[in-house]
Amino acid sequence: MINIALQGAEFFSHHGFYPEEQKLGCRFIVDIEVAFIPQGDINEDDLDNTVDYERLYIIVCEEMKHPRKLIETVGQSITDRIKNKYPFVKNIRVTIKKLNPPLMGKVAHSSIIINYPSANEL
């Protein structure tokens, strides 16, 4: 099994439940971890035998451009697109952190984590 990860991908997006959040936007950090069994001999040095982390980044970029009320929805969309692009993937973990969420006090970030397979799918 091979793990591929992107850590600390930073985006400015307009996700948020409240209209002000969708208007003003916020900074987000996205981490992705993907585990898979290579599709061929990894010694062939062929990108088709692995998960392309550049493609993972593009998927995240595209999803972060579409404002949504819930970052859970964004995380699930990212997970679904990875599953569709790479059906041989065994595990996916997507973490989205919303930096400085608009709360009554100072909070570094709020976050969600999407795991595939979920406990219900095991």
Residue 2, strand partner residues? 36
Residue of 68, 71, 102 lying closest to 79 (CA atoms): 71
Q: How far apart are CA 24 and CA 10, in angstroms?
A: 17
Active site residues: 98
Residue of 87, 40, 103, 94 lying closest to 71 (CA atoms): 94
Contacts of 78 (CB under 8 A, 6+ apart): 30, 32, 59, 60, 63, 94, 114
- Scan for tokens 């790479």, then name that residue: 86
